[in-house]
Amino acid sequence: MKMIIGGKWLDKSAKIDVLNPFDDSLVDTVPEGSAEDVKKAITKAEKGYEINKNLPAHKRISILKRCAEIMQDRFEDLAITIASEGSKTISEARKEVGRAINTITISAEEARRINGETIPFDSAVGSENRMGYYYRFPIGIIAAITPFNDPLNLVAHKVGPAIAGGNSVVVKPATVTPLSALKLAECLLDAGLPGEIISVVTGHGREIGEALVTDPRIRMVSFTGGVEAGEIVSHLAGLKKIGMELGSNSPVIVLNDANLDNAVESCVSGSFWAVGQNCIGVQRIYIENDLYTEFRDRFVQRTLKYKTGFQLNEDTDMGPMITKAEAIRVIEWVDEAVKMGAKTLCGGTRKGSLVQPTVMENMPVGAKLDCQEIFGPVVSLYPIDSLESAVEKSNSVNYGLHAAIFTSNLNSAHYAIRNLDAGSVIINDSTDYRIDLMPFGGVKNSGLGREGIKYALQEMTEPKVVCFNL
């Protein structure tokens, strides 16, 4: 595919191969963009901002609604694209397409709800004859930098609210999964979006990332990725808004009074969805002592039923890691933990980019698997004496995106809600639960600000005060 600069398809002689991570077969090629391409895209986006901020809300709404309809018409093609360039199974990819359609639909709905309110100026002495209000206006050009693990829906989460709010947007998709972003932009253009409003620049982050983030014409950087990259972006960005989602090491607490069937099934799914390459995936499970052995045995039995393999096969439960190098890293972390005293209950092996779903116990404090984000199909089980101890251990890492608890006791649930350091606390489901209209984000190293269309719109617009002196 070609990349998109100001709504126009652009090819270049320098190419990047988009490979299927299962066998490194060629899926497609995209242009290798440069800093100069980024500058051209931002120049186009300046015009796009002037166009979009002056579009009536009903026009933005109709474009976004039409885009969702086109995505529905192209549903299977989008799913195959997600699964071919990335790690998700075809079943997981179809769910992502459904979510992305929902994200664009909600963006259309929220475009009619960018509300202001009246201000009681006469509440201040001397302002008795004043009245007024505020309304929200778009901030300008949004830079959207997106990762590989949700190559369609995470782009939609940035592009949808940016357009709904009257901004223009320049997308830098993950180098390994650019096709889904290009196809979403194509849907928007086919829906009638004026071309200058959107660009998708493909290329290596080291070549085009700095040019995008540092350009003073960019008014907000919306970034999803790792902590190290996030720190670099924040240092480079300068005086502009920043929204970041930087991952997690998500804890789940399972108490003795939990529904065991639900806890096991939910946590297995939450651990291994999208090969564990999931910012809200389950990584640590704290199980109360009396339930530990039974939970562990049933969890391992359920994990052993997972079928790994080619992600486009309908019966595959878990596909490959995004690259062989990432698969090697995951096994290195497992091996490190074992050398430190951890025990592998199942998995812990790889073939090429395929890593078997891995369950660990006796995880020592300080191992990477204990305190960092694995972003792979590895989960660790820990026995705990009490809810208080489980909460303390859950909070011991420098992340706080999602946390979860399984219990039938309302007081226990509320203790967890009050005391877990996380942007969301999920009760009787795993951390891997999200709907696209909720505020989404975390504390500590898990990021800055919140996504979720309504909340992203707040970040992508600003209040303007209007005051009449009568």
Average pLDDT over the chain reads 97
Q: What is the mean pLDDT of residues 184-196?
A: 98
pLDDT tens profile 354-407: 999 999 999 999 999 999 999 999 999 999 999 999 999 999 999 999 999 999
What distance lies between CA 36 and its chain's CA centroid?
28
Cα separation, 282 vs 287, whole angstroms:
13
The amino acid present at 405, given as its one-letter code, is I
Please state, in angstroms and rounded to a whole number, the distance separating the CA atoms of residues 403 and 167: 33
> Cα separations (Å) of 18 from 25, 29, 82?
9, 5, 12
Contact call for residues 298 and 264 (beta carbons, < 8 A): yes
The C-alpha atoms of residue 376 and residue 85 are separated, in whole angstroms, by 17
Centre a 10 Å sphere on the Cβ of residue 469 and count the other Cβ atoms it contains. 9
Distance, in Å, from the CA atom of 179 to the CA atom of 85, rounded to the nearest integer, reads 7
pLDDT tens by residue, 252-309: 999 999 999 999 999 999 999 999 999 999 999 999 999 999 999 999 999 999 999 9
Q: Which of 187, 279, 373, 459 is catalytic?
A: 279
pLDDT at residue 457, as a whole number: 97
Q: What percent of the chain has pLDDT over 90?
A: 99
Q: So what's the pLDDT on residue 217?
A: 98
Of the candidates 263, 295, 406, 311, the residue with the CA atom closest to the CA atom of residue 359 = 295
Q: What pLDDT was estimated at residue 443? A: 97
| pLDDT tens-digit series, residues 38-92 | 999 999 999 999 999 999 999 999 999 999 999 999 999 999 999 999 999 999 9
CA 116 to chain centre: 29
Question: In the prediction, which pLDDT does 75 show?
Answer: 98
Residue 265 has a pLDDT of 98
**What domains can be seen in the chain, in order of their start residue?**
3-246+446-469 (3.40.605.10), 250-435 (3.40.309.10)
Annotated catalytic residue, options 32, 196, 245, 373 = 245
The dihedral over CA atoms of 305, 307, 313, 314, expressed in degrees to the nearest 10, equals 10
Buried b (16+ CB within 10 A) or exposed e, 77-103: ebbbbbbbbbbbbbebbbbbbbbbbbb
pLDDT category at 14 given cuts 50, 70, 90 is very high
Distance CA 166, CA 161 (A): 9
Torsion angle defined by CA atoms of residues 297, 298, 300 and 303, in that order, rounded to the nearest 10 degrees: 180
Average of per-residue pLDDT across 127-145: 98
Confidence of residue 114 (pLDDT cuts 50, 70, 90): very high
- Indicate the pLDDT class of residue 126, thresholds 50, 70 and 90: very high
Residue 451 is among the residues annotated as catalytic for this protein: no
Question: pLDDT at position 157, please?
Answer: 98
pLDDT value, residue 226: 93
- Residue at token pair 């190098």: 325
Looking at residue 466, what is its pLDDT? 98
Residue 365 CB burial class (10 angstroms; 0-12, 13-18, ≥19): exposed
pLDDT value at position 118?
98
Instruction: Return phi, psi of residue 137, to 5°.
Output: -125, 155
Residue 267 known to be catalytic: no
